[in-house]
Structure 1
Amino acid sequence: MKLGILLCDDHYPDSIPKYGHYDEAFKRMFEGSSISAFKSYRCHEEKYPSSPKDCDIWLVTGSKWGVYDTDPWIEVVAQFVRDCNETNQPIIGVCFGHQLIHYALGGHVEKSDKGWGMGVYPIKKNFQPVASGVALSKTLNLIACHQDQVISPANGFDVIAGSDFCPIAITQKSQTALTMQCHPEFTPEFLIQLIERLRENAGNEVVDNAIKSLETLGEGDREQVISLIFNFCNREKD
């Protein structure tokens, strides 16, 4: 199984010596899964795949951009998402990727009036995912960092989990798309150094509370969401 990683950003240059490029975080996350090969495309630098059939499964990463920004590469990736949808090629979306998949397929995304979702926050499972044998906990504590949210999902998606703060947090469309607002590829250590960079923008209280949540809950239920992703990939393998 080959995973195509549609990179929509990269780590800050001074983070790369310690954490590597952004696609390396996903490669580490997929250790032990059915994925045996990777191909990364730096879409934010206008490097794109030629066809949805180039890889078995696709993943759209997080980004500092918003899906409503006018940078041309965003629409190219959105069209690629539509092409995957039309050909039933399976795709996973993380944070910005979650938002872009819904945006591309007719959902609505905007900057939330609830402010930053940062640190480890709880969401509640609505029902069992369609394409997974994973028994998710009723409440999941997940690592996140975002201002934008999916306000209304695209047609055909089930909302697997959400909260009052982030109602559309994990979604799935049959066995062809799995999206999530959280960052299962992030570790607490990585997120802390990232959100410190956002202190001036997000404010001391938001960042301090986020760090406290990480110190208290660590990586939370990250492994459950990773298992959800693995099972989604395994169903495609079958």
Structure 2
Amino acid sequence: MASLPLRIAILECDTPLPGTSSKYGGYGGVFTSLLNSATTALSLPPSSLSLSTYHVVTSPSNPTPTYPSLSQIDAILLTGSKHNSFDNDPWILKLVSFVEEVLRQRRVRIIGVCFGHQIVGRAMGTRVGRSERGWEVSVVPIELTEKGREIFGMKTLALHQMHRDVVFEYPDGVEELAYTDKCSVQGMYIPKRLITIQGHPEFNEEIVRELLVFRHQQKIFDDEVFEDAMARVDKYQDGVVVAKAFLKFLLE
């Protein structure tokens, strides 16, 4: 079992929209809020987490993104992103290479969410790309495998989704956790090594409403997708349940 505090490096793979950014300061802040809620739910002391944030997307204000030293952390957490996990932009290739480096060692563990889930799949040699089944957005019911029910302590999950890219197959040696009609690879697990989820446990109604309105205005979502998603945006979702599973995984 890992010792406390758990030193988690959050690799921010995108910048939130203005409303979310104003409230949380970035996706690192969104995940900090979620993980703190999970810490409370598990009755762990407030000092159980030591979180650091690294913005890994190259931009004029961030021309040479930095990465954590593996000797100084216990885990990395890869966030979601509007970018494509299958693209070959230099920062994406660097991120894949970094995950490959983490996979080659045995101590530092990996958590991947949405885009991060896909990057982990890519780093393990599995095909990622655009799904022909279209967008999966807003609160979606997720079926769990036997291992998934064990990991999450639930018969099924409900999570916010915001993707049309997928991991097409499970990499060798990975345990299957979850699936939906539109995405058969919803979660991956290797004990003491990695856990990933295609959904967004860190999202809440406020964050998703902002994304839906923006993407509808930008014509990314047509009226049908937008209206269907907005009808489900206020539904219950199991974000803290998944975050608790993340922390339990790190404590294995």
Could you state the TM-score of these two structures normalised by the residue count of structure 1? 0.91
Partner of 1:160: 177
Partner of 1:24: 29
Alignment of 1:24-173 (within 5 A): 24-31=29-36, 32-33=38-39, 35-45=48-58, 46-88=64-106, 89-129=108-148, 132=151, 134-137=152-155, 139-173=156-190
The Cα shift of 1:124 comes to: 0.8
The Cα shift of 1:158 comes to: 1.1
Paired with 2:238 and 2:205, the residues of 1 have a C-alpha distance of: 12
Paired with 1:67 and 1:54, the residues of 2 have a C-alpha distance of: 27
Alignment of 1:4-19 (within 5 A): 4-13=9-18, 15-19=20-24
Preserved CA contact (<8 Å) 1:103 1:154:
no
The Cα shift of 1:211 comes to: 1.1
Partner of 2:3: none
Corresponding position: 1:233 with 2:250: yes
Letter in 2 for 1:3: I
The Cα shift of 1:202 comes to: 1.6
Identity of aligned residues (%): 29
The Cα shift of 1:129 comes to: 4.5
User: Which moves more between the two structures, 6-15 or 82-91?
Assistant: 6-15
The Cα shift of 1:151 comes to: 0.6
The Cα shift of 1:52 comes to: 2.5
Letter in 2 for 1:83: E
Preserved CA contact (<8 Å) 1:130 1:174:
no
Q: 1:56 to 1:210 in 2, by over 3 A?
A: same
Paired with 1:156 and 1:52, the residues of 2 have a C-alpha distance of: 23
Paired with 1:9 and 1:234, the residues of 2 have a C-alpha distance of: 28
Deviations 1:9-38 (A, max 9, x none): 111245422342111001111115364211
Unpaired runs of 5+ residues, structure 1, are none
Corresponding position: 1:187 with 2:204: yes
Q: Kindly report structure 1 stretches of 4+ aligned residues shifted beyond 3 Å.
A: 129-132
Q: Secondary structure at the match of 1:231?
A: helix
Unpaired runs of 5+ residues, structure 2, are 1-5, 59-63
Q: Secondary structure at the match of 1:77?
A: helix
Q: Secondary structure at the match of 1:198?
A: helix
Partner of 2:214: 197
Q: Secondary structure at the match of 1:44?
A: coil
